[in-house]
Amino acid sequence: MDKLLETVKHLSFPRRSASAEEARAAEYVASRMKQSGIDVTFQPFWAQHTFSWVFACIYAANLIAPIAALYSARYLAMFLGVVSILSFYAESNTHEVFARLVPKFPSRNVIGVIPAARERLGTIIISAHYDSSRSGLSFHPKMVKGLRTSYILMSVSLAVNSAVAISSALFGRPGIAYLAAPTVIYIAFAILLFVHREFFGKVTPGANDNASGVAVLLDVADRLSAEPPRHVEVYLVATGAEEAGTVGMIRFLDAYKTSIKGAQVINLDNLGTGNLKYITAEGMLHTYRSSPELLSHAEVVASENPDLKIGPMEYRALTTDSLAAMARGYPALCVMAFDDEGILPNWHWPTDTWENVDPSNLARASEFVYKLISRLDAHLPLR
């Protein structure tokens, strides 16, 4: 338990995506894996610092669409209306569109592999991101409860803007664009929030999000390296630039798709305080169901070990590395912890410090993941 908390302490400093601080954290994670005798590889890639500018660009394109229709720029209105709404849906589901256009900086994944002790019959990926996020007014403790509601309102606003712009252009009636006035104002306000976040928000220490997940990953790695599973090969993937749009996980899945074919993903995120949960479904709008097989085994582990105090829950907020995996067809399960109101404690806020992490949470999460992997190994064949 002490070692778990020490890991969180060591990583509790601002680690913006694709930054020198993130790189320092990657070196620490790699050194810890090597101490356990695990072969480690760095996977370099390019990533943006933040998701703010990606979505600000999408919102701006959508906002301009009805304005273009008002001034009879019909083709521009139709183009922006279609592209913005489709891009919003794609980016919200971890498929990059506008993200390809923003400036990129070096980042990397830290990948360790524990071979199966005997014949390899299956592959499990344990992932946890090691970067931290910038705070913003949307994540203020008094506002964060309404994050999903705000997201749904934004989705509706973008759809209305697109529909009005396209209708105005198709029917040659510029006046229709005035119907979008309320949604244009709402979207403009959202853009201002992104700008405020990037200029006035602070990069958080990220103790719970997600030094806690990395601590659990490394603790499980220590145990598995000492006694590898019989028939399961385990990938330990500490992802970079998750807070910029799950970029590290996307790059890992793209680069390793041949060697990890049929793998199952167990993602660790925000485990440092609150009620431990294994996630049954994710997604703000589109729902991604967690792997039925992983859920079945998780349920058994939870019921056989009531002292772990873990149960099922849906997570319907921002994207995770497990959602990125599910969006690409991989069976996945995320393990997280929430307060009594179902909110991630100290989420993307300066109070996300190691003093607010509960060591017993880390220990129970580690035990749950270890027992889950042991059960999967004992109930082969995997896919």
pLDDT one-digit tens code per residue, 335-359: 999 999 999 999 999 999 999 999 9
pLDDT at residue number 172:
83
| Domain shared by 214 and 267, yes or no | yes
Domain that residue 296 falls in? 2-48+104-135+203-378
How much of the chain exceeds pLDDT 70, in percent? 99
What is the reported pTM?
A: 0.95
Tell me, yes or no, whether 153 lies in a domain: yes
Q: Are residues 27 and 94 in the same domain?
A: no
In a domain, residue 383? The reply is no
Point out the domain boundary residue: 173, 200, 227: 200
Instruction: Mark whether 9 and 40 lie in a shared domain.
Output: yes
CA angle 218, 222, 225 (to 5 degrees): 125
Q: What is the pLDDT of residue 153?
A: 94
Residue 280 covered by a domain: yes
Residues 121 and 195 reside in one and the same domain: no
Same domain, 176 and 30: no
Q: Does residue 288 share a domain with residue 149? A: no
* Shared-domain flag, residues 108 and 62: no
Residue 383 has pLDDT above 70, yes or no: no
Q: How many domains does the chain have?
A: 2
What confidence score (pLDDT) does residue 1 get?
Answer: 60
Q: How many C-beta atoms lie closer than 10 Å to residue 178's C-beta? A: 13
Q: What is the pLDDT of residue 170?
A: 86
CATH number at residue 243: 3.40.630.10
Location of structure tokens 């659990």: 216
Are residues 248 and 359 both part of a single domain?
yes
What pLDDT is stored for residue 290 in this prediction? 98
Domain match, 232 and 326 both: yes
In sign, the C-alpha dihedral spanning 248, 251, 255, 260 is positive
- The residue ranking higher by pLDDT, 324 or 178, is 324
Burial class (CB in 10 A: 0-12, 13-18, 19+), 153: middle
For residue range 6-49, what is the model confidence (pLDDT) as tens digits?
999 999 999 999 999 999 999 999 999 999 999 999 999 999 99
Q: Are residues 124 and 272 in the same domain?
A: yes
Residue 381's pLDDT band (cuts 50, 70, 90): low
pLDDT in tens, 188-222: 999 999 999 999 999 999 999 999 999 999 999 99
